Structure 1
Amino acid sequence: MFVLVAAVVLLTVVCLLNLALTVGVIRRLREHSSFIDTVAPVAISPPVTVEPGEKPADFAVTTEDGEPFSRDLIAAPTLIGFFSPTCAPCAELLPDFIDQAAAMPGGRGQVLAVIAAKGRESAAEYAARLSGVARVVIEEHDGTVQRAFKTENFPTVYLVDSGGTVISGGVGRGELTRAAEALAAHGR
């Protein structure tokens, strides 16, 4: 009888230990899952297809202020940002982009913000926040400027020189830092 009780107690302890380990594994899997959800979109994104040293395709658009803008009208190093109101990383990057745009030597004349949205209403908040520091273009997804720069992921930031050649470009927060560094190096 004693052996039977000892076996049941031992089996109970092993089951409880197994349950505790299973709960721990499930908790870690949830942490990893949320980490992958935040990192994977950038990690799996295709590389920027307009690489430094290349020019985007020709394009011509009119900004929200009625000003023409095209690759040929870029007269000084220009910061170009692509945003979408439905993109969580865009919302996170927007304040830093606004700060960088405000620091551009030529002011808003050297900054273009392209907002990819379904209709002007959905882009209104972004346009209002950006209009003080950038010329703003609102276009549907896969619009004229996005096609010229082959932009499919958001947020994407480019720094282009006066001839329209890409100095730096890429997706995400790190690219804004690289653009600022490239601008500082370009100004030397």
Structure 2
Amino acid sequence: MLVVVLVGSLVVINLIFTLGVIKRLREHTELLRGSFDPVAIEAGTEIGEFVSVTVDGERIAHESFTEETTVAFFAPDCRPCQEKLPKLAAYGKSIPGGRDRVLAVVVASADLAADFVALLRPVAHVVVEEPAGPMAAAFGIRAFPALLSVAPNHSGRLVVKAGTVDMDRPATVSA
């Protein structure tokens, strides 16, 4: 009988400690969730004015976007960027409208961006710019990689339609 009481007491004490740990983990999760800023401006936000030139010499500006477009920002020294790069290349091949609906911005000097440009050029319009360049500033980029869906709104202003792009799903573009 004493053994049963002892085991029962240990189970109750273990349960109390487990509930305490769960409560503490929830508190920490909330603290962490609140500490992360979005990597770019949020969905529904208007994108600032910018003018840039692609590696092919094409002018890209705010008014260049007439349809929904996937915009990706990468930095060559970013490990998650290196991991997502092949996914964006595959995604770009599958998107309706092809490379006209994908814009990749590589934030680095031209020599450091060369490998990224080589992989992305067949599937996207590619811009290479220095950190804090006009496109990164207009899109409010705070971290890499940043993958956004943008489109003109009802009044023709360019806005972020979605703050993330799931490249593991087949590419579709809504009308």
- Which TM-score band applies after superposition, normalised by the shorter structure? 0.7 to 0.9
- Residues 52 and 61 of structure 2 are in contact (CA less than 8 Å); yes or no, is this contact kept in structure 1? yes
User: Could you tell me the TM-score, scaled by structure 1's length?
Assistant: 0.68
Q: 3-state DSSP class of the match of 2:166? A: helix
Q: Which amino acid aligns with 1:133?
A: V
- 1:76 Cα offset (Å): 1.1
Aligned pair partner of 2:59 in 68, 83, 88? 68
**1:90-114, CA deviations, whole angstroms, 9 ceiling, x for partnerless residues?**
0011111111111121111111100
Q: Whose RCO is larger (CA < 8 A, sep 6+)?
A: 2
- Residues 63 and 69 of structure 1 are in contact (CA less than 8 Å); yes or no, is this contact kept in structure 2? yes
Q: What corresponds to 2:70 in structure 1?
A: 79
Q: What corresponds to 1:153 in structure 2?
A: 143
In 2, Cα distance between the equivalents of 1:75 and 1:53?
16
The answer to whether 1:116 aligns with 2:110 is no
Q: What corresponds to 2:129 in structure 1?
A: 139
| Change in 2 beyond 3 A, CA 1:141/1:43 | farther
* Superposition RMSD in Å: 2.4
The answer to whether 1:168 aligns with 2:159 is no
Q: What corresponds to 1:98 in structure 2?
A: 89
**1:56-94, CA deviations, whole angstroms, 9 ceiling, x for partnerless residues?**
101111101010111211011100000000000000111
Q: Kindly name which structure, 1 or 2, has the bigger radius of gyration based on alpha carbons.
A: 1
Unaligned runs of 5+ in 2: 1-31
User: Could you tell me the TM-score, scaled by structure 2's length?
Assistant: 0.72
Higher helix share: 1
**Where do 1:34-49 residues align within 5 Å?**
45-49=36-40
| Change in 2 beyond 3 A, CA 1:99/1:177 | same
Q: 3-state DSSP class of the match of 2:165? A: helix
Aligned residues: 140
Q: What corresponds to 2:3 in structure 1?
A: none
Q: What corresponds to 2:79 in structure 1?
A: 88
**1:118-167, CA deviations, whole angstroms, 9 ceiling, x for partnerless residues?**
x2110000000000000110011111100000102000001011442111
Identity %: 34
Q: What corresponds to 2:45 in structure 1?
A: 54
Unaligned runs of 5+ in 1: 1-39, 170-174
- Residues 98 and 130 of structure 1 are in contact (CA less than 8 Å); yes or no, is this contact kept in structure 2? yes
